[in-house]
């Protein structure tokens, strides 16, 4: 106890000194970006970032893009310079032409690396190129076409479950369509992507793995301070140490997001092991699995087994791809489906044309 307090004071003093040095450096040292216009900082620590984190924050991005043009400056955490560009030629150079030069992250690790592992969203340079080379054929039109029956089957089961929910109520009622679209998307991605079923549409909740996937991004968005310091810590600490510190953090929100990530990683390892065992038993065994061996993970595992040793992904990378694939596709797809259904509800004439086309 006598050593804990002095040690804590030293850590706090070093953190304050470090933050102060960064602020002074950004304020005193000139930068070529200083000539660019941009919003004024509203926070000493977070700069102008809080402006864009509020609800309808996308409107603020649009407003400042209209006001400042194709390139402008945002002051970030501890007044860090952040260049924002809307120039199509510059974006093509950064994202396509010279992608190998423009790294996504300068720090050794970031939130996605620490919480999900080395997946496509967190890796860079040669590792990212190697992963993309192995995964690109998996998303070919031929492979995706073989999954069409999975999508139809899930859609029909969802329709039956929603209809039963309405009929059993005995009276008209409101339904959380976005919630149902979330469940449907998760099940489609689970079966087509992982060969795993999250939801039978009979209860109100999916399994623990599915719930963790749903909660990951909402939980992560509430841990802004951790989001900002995790990358900086990776310069001096290994990933395992940062994760251990996060599990013992005094902030419940930080511990919660790490626990969610641990649940996702544990179940992902189990699924990869089950898939490998099914592949070892042969194609006949795969026919009885969810996804019938045509899911993306099974195809990816086959491709990985056939690849040269220098191009293979490790189990850690495979697990990271699973989480990345589901998380990247879940909210985007469910929200798009909800938006489509809302537009159809607001335009009955279009809905009638769609139904008449289906009948014919």
Among the residue ranges 66-75, 118-127, 285-294, 301-310, the one predicted with the least confidence is 285-294
Per-residue pLDDT tens digits for 170-189: 677 778 888 888 888 888 88
Of the segments 164-173, 201-210, 342-351, which one has the largest average pLDDT value?
Answer: 342-351
Query: Is 60 exceeded by the pLDDT of residue 5?
Result: no
Query: Is 50 exceeded by the pLDDT of residue 1?
Result: no
CB contact at 8 A, 26 and 78 = yes
Q: Mean pLDDT over all residues of the chain?
A: 79
pLDDT at residue 289 in the model: 56
pLDDT at residue 359 in the model: 58
Average pLDDT for residues 148-152, to the nearest whole number?
Answer: 85
Contacts 24+ apart (CB under 8 A), 271-279: 271/194, 271/195, 271/196, 271/297, 271/322, 272/297, 272/301, 272/315, 272/318, 272/319, 272/322, 275/195, 275/301, 276/301, 279/305
Query: Is 70 exceeded by the pLDDT of residue 113?
Result: yes
pLDDT at residue 286 in the model: 57
Task: Tell me the fold of 135-348.
Answer: Cytochrome p450 (1.10.630)
Average pLDDT for residues 107-131, to the nearest whole number?
Answer: 80
pLDDT at residue 105 in the model: 67
Answer whether 0.85 is exceeded by the pTM: no
CB contact at 8 A, 47 and 41 = yes
pLDDT at residue 245 in the model: 81
Query: How many percent of the chain have pLDDT more than 70?
Result: 85
Among the residue ranges 261-270, 275-284, 333-342, the one predicted with the least confidence is 275-284
Range(s) of the chain covered by CATH 1.10.630.10 = 135-348
Query: Is 80 exceeded by the pLDDT of residue 18?
Result: no
């Amino acid at each position: 106890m006598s050593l804990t307090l002095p040690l804590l004071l030293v850590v706090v003093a070093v953190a304050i000194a470090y933050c102060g040095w960064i602020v002074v450096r950004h304020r005193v040292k000139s930068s070529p970006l200083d000539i660019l216009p941009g919003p004024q900082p509203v926070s000493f620590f977070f700069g102008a970032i809080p402006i864009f984190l509020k609800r309808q924050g996308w409107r603020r991005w649009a407003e400042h893009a209209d006001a400042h043009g194709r390139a402008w400056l945002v002051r970030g955490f501890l007044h860090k310079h952040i260049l924002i560009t809307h120039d199509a030629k510059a974006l093509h150079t950064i994202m396509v032409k010279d992608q190998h030069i423009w790294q996504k992250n300068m720090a050794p690790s970031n939130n996605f690396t620490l919480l999900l592992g080395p997946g496509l969203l967190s890796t860079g340079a040669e590792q990212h190129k190697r992963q993309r080379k192995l995964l690109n054929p998996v998303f070919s039109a031929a492979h995706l076409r073989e999954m069409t029956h999975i999508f139809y089957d899930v859609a029909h089961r969802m329709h039956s479950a929603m209809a039963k929910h309405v009929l059993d109520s005995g009276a008209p009622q409101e339904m959380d369509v976005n919630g149902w679209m979330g469940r449907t998307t998760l099940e489609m991605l689970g079966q087509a992507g992982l060969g795993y079923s999250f939801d039978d549409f009979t209860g109100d909740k999916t399994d623990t793995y599915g719930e963790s996937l749903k909660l990951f991004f909402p939980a992560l968005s509430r841990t802004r301070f951790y989001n900002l310091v995790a990358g900086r810590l990776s310069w001096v600490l290994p990933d395992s140490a940062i994760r251990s510190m996060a599990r013992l953090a005094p902030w419940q929100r930080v511990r919660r997001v790490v626990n969610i990530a641990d649940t996702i990683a544990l179940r992902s390892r189990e699924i990869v092991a089950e898939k490998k065992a099914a592949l070892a038993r042969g194609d006949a065994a795969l026919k009885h699995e969810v996804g019938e061996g045509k899911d993306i993970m099974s195809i990816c595992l086959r491709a990985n087994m056939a690849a040269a040793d220098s191009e293979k992904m490790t189990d850690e990378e495979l697990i990271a791809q699973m989480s990345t694939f589901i998380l990247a596709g879940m909210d985007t797809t469910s929200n798009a489906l909800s938006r489509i259904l809302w537009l159809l509800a607001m335009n009955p004439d279009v809905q009638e044309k769609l139904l008449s086309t289906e009948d014919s």
